[in-house]
Amino acid sequence: SKAAEKWLEMSAFDDLKKKNKQTYQEIMYEMLELNKTKISKPIFNLSDVDIKKGNALTKKWKLSKKRPTIGLNVGVGTKWPSKGWTAKRWEELIEILNSKNYNLLLLGGQDEKTLMARLCRKYQFLINTGYNNSLVEFAAIVNLCDIIITADTLALHIGTALNKKIIALFGPTSISEINLFGCGIKITAPDDCKCYYNKSCSEEVSCMEKITSGMIMNAVCEIEKL
């Protein structure tokens, strides 16, 4: 079909992908000749047992019910490290959020083990949720959060499927393809990315680093009203 050809061409040519303004769901629905006005939101069904295990962590980590809980997902994996936010920016945001009285959960995987440990040593109020969780365990932890701050990666998709409020940071990947279904805010750098879908950035200052902690805090204030 024409829709399938379009998707294949975008898969091969990054300049076409950059120009695309449709979400993944719209593209897939077109390929399947389904009604795009009735796109279904993704769902992640946690079992009662998984939810109970997650809730037990609330007591273990002594999360205050009087404070909103924010998940800070510092991981992006190894395929596109260029889409990650810099450690410097994370530190700036952590310091601001701590002054505003939030429960702060640090999220990540094996590739973020060192960064997570370093951040937790520097900021002992952070809660390290672990880097070796299974997919379901990770989802149960995400489920404890009111807000997720993340780049374009797994936590974004799980958070969306769990109906969480998402603040999503975009640089070298498509901001248009991601549908947050009215429960999130997308943030991108003021300047266009010069290294679209490249594994590494060739610029002196990356587009991701141009996303400031102030931009994220404005989004936090806005998203709390949703």
pLDDT in tens, 170-202: 988 888 899 999 999 999 987 775 556 666 666
Pick the CATH number of 65-223 from 3.10.300.10, 3.40.50.2000, 3.90.950.10, 3.40.50.1010: 3.40.50.2000
| CA gap 124, 54 in Å, rounded | 22
Cβ of 132: how many Cβ atoms within 10 Å?
A: 9
Give the pLDDT mean for 72-95: 89
- Of the two residues 196 and 119, the one the predictor is more confident about is 119
Give the pLDDT mean for 130-140: 96
What percentage of the chain exceeds 70 in pLDDT? Answer: 94
CA distances from 90 to 16, 72, 95, 212, 220 (A): 32, 8, 9, 9, 14
**What pLDDT is attached to residue 118?**
96
Q: Please determine, for residue 76, whether its predicted confidence score (pLDDT) is greater than 90.
A: no
Give the pLDDT mean for 53-75: 96
| CA gap 197, 80 in Å, rounded | 7
Read off the pLDDT band of 11 (50, 70, 90): confident
Which residue type sits at 95? E
Q: Please determine, for residue 55, whether its predicted confidence score (pLDDT) is greater than 60.
A: yes
Domain with CATH 3.40.50.2000 in the chain: 65-223
**What pLDDT is attached to residue 3?**
84
Q: Please determine, for residue 21, whether its predicted confidence score (pLDDT) is greater than 70.
A: yes
